[in-house]
Chain A
């Protein structure tokens, strides 16, 4: 088991190097550079001044030299300066990573908390009215555009009822570390998390439901029943564990998707996370920030798939490689 994890982790290194190379070259291939963005914001700069800035930041060096510089610093934890925000990228990301991870974690938690019981119920009692209700919810949530639903949530619970704040991640008047700070942060999370989770459940529910319907007629389940195992335990011991395999396989990808893809949530709830920063940085041609962000979500993909592999190898003895 340990060898498997170690080996699986080592494979990540070449993957990440390749990823960084591709990202760096793609970013370079984008029209314009950091100075273009800066030039747009102050049109009174002369061509010579712009060229001077380019020279100063090494933007005229060949790409592999630039890549070398970037890699060397990145390994030391220095991701460069944001041209737009005039502060280290690392510092810029720090607070936002925390927000996004928090959002992703709770969204996933709530998604599974809703989806797994519903999938189980729908699968166990398939084609009853409860199942039809759950599948109906699935269709609706799958068909609902996220921005419509999120705006509706925002309108009803923030503007009309006033239960939750309309945006941000925490009230700036709160003192960091205090209990009320935590409570306020949680309050800011409720709407983004709920809007995301309620629409994200369909995949898990549908997978679980269909897999349970398949699994409950399998031979080994019949063996369990023949042993005199009561139906409830047949489900918990034999069916559910087998049916959770595909869900476990997707867990890594779900994490990845949420870390790198909460752009809509963060835009609508003006939640200061990575997604929001990403959009701003692309618009501002903030090259260092964009590269760091893409690299970060790329890493999330690689780590996520590794997590999936490890989780699967824990639950399914057939794919353990010792």
Chain B
């Protein structure tokens, strides 16, 4: 047995739209080891959040089909009974949500919302739950925890609410944290505080984090390994340093080139042509990124693009990376690697 904490194999998440099923996550496989931070990046609509919700079993069952395997400590979360799943969610896997403004119940005080999962999973007396909650609030950087404990979400700022959401996720000492864009809805100074907080928590508690984000700065700061998703598929997967220094897939390179760098204050930012196709309009044959790099000849792409292991632990989909260049590049130039500081 290996020490895969989470082992996802060929996960396919399809949404039913007008009687037809469309895959938003289309055959994704990867693993998360203990004490590892894996980041998933990609534009909006690439299937990142759909993937996170699939792991947590939070898609509405009536309109969603899940196929493949999501093995957590050897148990396939897609097939275990709901009651068993409820013992795992909140206890062993915690989730941080994207929008702290809506993720909390407006009618319950903050303390009670944090305690709820403890009541569900841990045999603790009321007083112990309270103490633990106050401790958690302090841990996530809330100073006046006694007061916040009794406050309602509408009395707190966005950053405070996100800290509360994190405290909820950590309430039962999970071994895996699924963080779905934990900083997206916050302003920049708070973003930095929250990502520092995550890093610090991970150092202290040795938990594994699946970090979903489109903020490459956060990725370079936190992640051990990065998965780049495009149109429901993994297009590249590598150690964080490798990915930032030697990105291969055209999509990864385009994303990195779109980052505002230190020297580029006077020049226009790079823009990836076009948008991520909607899951209904997506052409699922051939290289899915091809329509956005039209200057690359068709024969450069594979007919049925596969993930290739180009170096140990470095995977790239499709062969088009071999001949890829930006339209304004001279072929043979050094690739436009940007180091994530």
Contact surface of A with B, Cβ cutoff 8 Å: 217-220, 222-231, 237-238, 241-242, 315-318
Contacts and interface: CB of A to CB of B under 8 A. Distances in A.
A217 B60 contact: yes
Nearest to A228: B90
Instruction: Name the interface size band of chain B.
Output: 35 or more
Interface stretch (B114-122, B193-201, B242-250, B331-339): B114-122
A224 B57 CA distance: 12
28 contacts: A218-B102, A220-B102, A222-B58, A222-B103, A223-B95, A223-B103, A223-B113, A223-B165, A223-B168, A224-B105, A224-B116, A225-B58, A225-B89, A226-B94, A227-B89, A227-B120, A228-B87, A228-B90, A228-B120, A229-B86, A229-B90, A229-B116, A237-B116, A242-B106, A317-B107, A317-B109, A317-B154, A318-B152
A317 B58 CA distance: 28
Given A227-B168, A228-B91, A317-B107, 20 more contacts: A219-B102, A220-B102, A220-B105, A223-B95, A223-B165, A225-B57, A225-B89, A226-B58, A226-B94, A226-B95, A226-B169, A227-B89, A228-B85, A228-B87, A228-B88, A228-B89, A228-B120, A229-B90, A241-B107, A316-B107
Contacts of A231: 82
Contact of A222 (B83, B88, B97, B152): B97
B43 interface: no
Contacts of B171: 227
B318 interface: no
Nearest to A126: B62
A242 B58 contact: no
B90 A242 contact: no
A226 B86 contact: no
Nearest to B113: A223
B133 to A, nearest CB: 13
B127 to A, nearest CB: 21
B56 interface: yes
A226 B91 CA distance: 9
Given A228-B88, A230-B83, A231-B82, A219 B97 contact: yes
A142 to B, nearest CB: 28
Contacts of B99: 219
Nearest to B86: A228
Contacts of A222: 58, 97, 103
Interface in B62-109: 82-83, 85-91, 94-95, 97, 99, 102-109
Given A228-B121, A229-B120, A230-B83, A223 B97 contact: yes
A220 B106 contact: yes
A226 B106 contact: no
Contacts of A237: 108, 116
Nearest to A218: B102
Contacts of A242: 105-107
Nearest to B98: A219
Nearest to A242: B107
B107 A223 contact: no
Nearest to B117: A227
A309 to B, nearest CB: 17
Given A242-B107, A318-B152, A318-B154, A226 B89 contact: yes
A226 B56 contact: yes
A174 to B, nearest CB: 47
Nearest to A320: B152
Nearest to B92: A228
A256 B121 CA distance: 46
A196 B94 CA distance: 49
Contacts of B168: 223, 227
A238 B116 CA distance: 11
B174 to A, nearest CB: 10
Rank and list the top 3 A-B pairs by shortest CB-CB distance, nearest first: A228-B90, A227-B90, A227-B117
B221 to A, nearest CB: 25
A90 to B, nearest CB: 43
Contact of B152 (A227, A230, A317): A317
Contacts of A230: 83, 86
Contacts of B90: 226-229
B103 A219 contact: yes
Contact of A220 (B87, B103, B117): B103
A129 to B, nearest CB: 15
B106 A318 contact: yes
Pick the most buried of B97, B107, B121, B165: most chain A CB atoms within 10 A of its CB: B107
A217 B152 CA distance: 21
A225 B105 CA distance: 12
Contacts of B58: 222, 225-226
Nearest to A225: B58
Given A228-B117, A318-B154, A220 B104 contact: yes
Contacts of B154: 317-318
A128 B298 CA distance: 49
A223 B105 contact: yes
Contacts of B169: 226
A241 B107 CA distance: 8
